[in-house]
Chain A
Amino acid sequence: MSANGEFEREPVPQSALLGFKSFPGMYAGEHCAGTELMLGPLFVAAGVSARDLIVGLLLGNALAVLSWMLLCAPIAVRARLTLYYQLEKICGRKLVTVYNIANGVMFCFLAGSMITVSATAVGVMFPDISMPTLESVRPETFGWVAVVLVLGVLISVVAAYGYDAVSRFANIASPWMVLVFLAFGLIGLRQFLNETGTEVHSAGDLWHMLSTEVWTGGEPLPGSTKFHLAHVIFFAWFCNMAMHIGMSDLSVFRFAKHSWYGVATASGMYVGHFMAWAAAAMLFALQLHQTRADEHLQQLLVEHGKGVYAAEDLADAPLTADMVRAGMEIENRLVEQGVMKEADKKVKAPTPLPGQLAFKACGIAGLICVIIAGWTTANPTIYRAGLAFQAIVPRVSRYKVTIATGLLATVAGMFPAIAMQLLSFVALYGLILMPMGAVVFADFWLLRKLGLSPYYAERVRISVNWPAGVAWVATVAICVGLVMTGNPLFQIYFVSLPGWFIATAIYIGLSKVMQRPVAAAP
């Protein structure tokens, strides 16, 4: 048995296998996290309609669960190895180290966005500190930098010295947090009923209000990509791509008795990526519904809006993406004409700040939820990133590496662009780690059938298996190239699907060309 009982470099033995009930709770807790408070509102900013959101999340999450059940878990219960050890056998030690760096960097950015989410809660307590907007890219005020720095350093120190305690605290917080997310939805729904004067007597009444008042579709807010049904399906399917198709959760399901335990991920998908996203989305939709055009925007729209907007209509109408967009266009026009200075532009898109949304709905309990959700998810993310980086500098202590990693995540958290563009970042994160999942899939199921040798690096004792390395880098390059063509079919949200087939084909093709005959495996 391994020294630490984690079986990091050997198959998990029968005696250490876990029953089904070990998995649903873990997934429900892991996927009801700080980022859900950002992702739900970003769907609203993307102009999603009620039908696209509900149907898209139902289908996309089902596809994600099937990916765990049919791609990841079957390999996990047969090989019973961690992803890293299995990749080392396939790719060689040096290539796995490069993969670890990529993984660690992505984890750092993800943890940074979680620190950003927590920092928005601190902003509620100190209203003088200016919070970032939907279009913010860089840190803009000293106050924001200071808040993120203090939070980030605290989280990093705790991740380095108190990881176990925070893990235990995260487990304790998990059932409470799920119910606070549910409360966000219930409260948002009641407030929408009050705002619109709707009386619900049937499911039809409720659906009518959701589709005409809450998630109305239409144009996205400036700076966001328009989301249709396909976007929601693919986002829900691929947002955890690194874990299912990318095979990161081999490390989890190697402990499962049967591959159908993959169905346990449905708890995380439908609690976190359905209920929590919908609830958080409802809070931001409510914020938009309650926001009115300020005097400056009203004046711009009435005086320069070519008669589209009337003053009496604007006073009581909820702020829409169309109004914001029109206001920005008018300002740009006025700047071009020399009537207005660039510095005087004031129209900004409403920003989803999780702290403010949660505080308005649930008071201090909501604020505590935002801080804990961001903190408890940033903590293991920084810890995992630290472990990934430590593979490169094994002589440096884990504490030092974790603190350095946490500081890197803190710097990333100061840049609001990652959190404000989290939909795109999460899709990119999946894309970068996905090709190695395709390599593992092809190596496990296809290579032997094609007369090739699986676990090639281990068998011929090489540190870099070039077919795997080229499959990874070339797939990411091809997919990024496709995204840059601007073709709507190849948006970042969709491109990982053809990417998986490209990675599989490159790995098999190059293995066919480059593999030398190897003695049959015992």
Chain B
Amino acid sequence: MLSRRILQVASWLSLAALIGPPTAFLAGRMELDAMKIWMLVATVTWFIVTPLWMGREKPHDAASEAA
């Protein structure tokens, strides 16, 4: 349960890392090339971490179904 929560937090942080750089670019606080690299890192993180929890049964759901 704790690891699931950690993975969820990592996913949401990767989304923040995805939209943060374009927002900083809009505000004139980041260069375009740096922004593109951050977006790619955030993208890779999202697609590695999120499938580990999204769409999978929560432990208690699986337990109740098994019962």
Interface residues of A (CB under 8 A from B): 168-169, 171-173, 175-176, 179-180, 182-183, 186-187, 189-190, 362-366, 368
Contacts and interface: CB of A to CB of B under 8 A. Distances in A.
27 contacts: A171-B54, A172-B55, A176-B18, A176-B50, A179-B18, A179-B19, A180-B43, A182-B22, A183-B19, A186-B23, A187-B22, A187-B25, A187-B26, A187-B32, A187-B35, A189-B26, A190-B26, A190-B28, A362-B36, A363-B39, A364-B40, A364-B43, A365-B36, A365-B39, A365-B42, A366-B39, A368-B43
B28 A172 contact: no
B10 interface: no
Interface of B: 15, 18-19, 22-23, 25-26, 28, 32-33, 35-37, 39-40, 42-43, 46-47, 50-51, 54-55
A132 to B, nearest CB: 26
Contacts of B39: 180, 183, 362-363, 365-366
A151 to B, nearest CB: 20
Given A182-B22, A365-B39, A365-B43, 19 more contacts: A168-B51, A172-B47, A172-B55, A175-B15, A176-B18, A176-B46, A176-B47, A179-B19, A180-B39, A183-B19, A186-B22, A186-B25, A187-B32, A189-B26, A362-B36, A363-B36, A365-B42, A366-B39, A368-B43
A473 to B, nearest CB: 43
A238 B63 CA distance: 46
Contacts of A362: 22, 36, 39
Contacts of B47: 172-173, 176
A374 B43 CA distance: 17
Contacts of B19: 179, 182-183
Contacts of A168: 51, 55
A172 B40 contact: no
B54 A183 contact: no
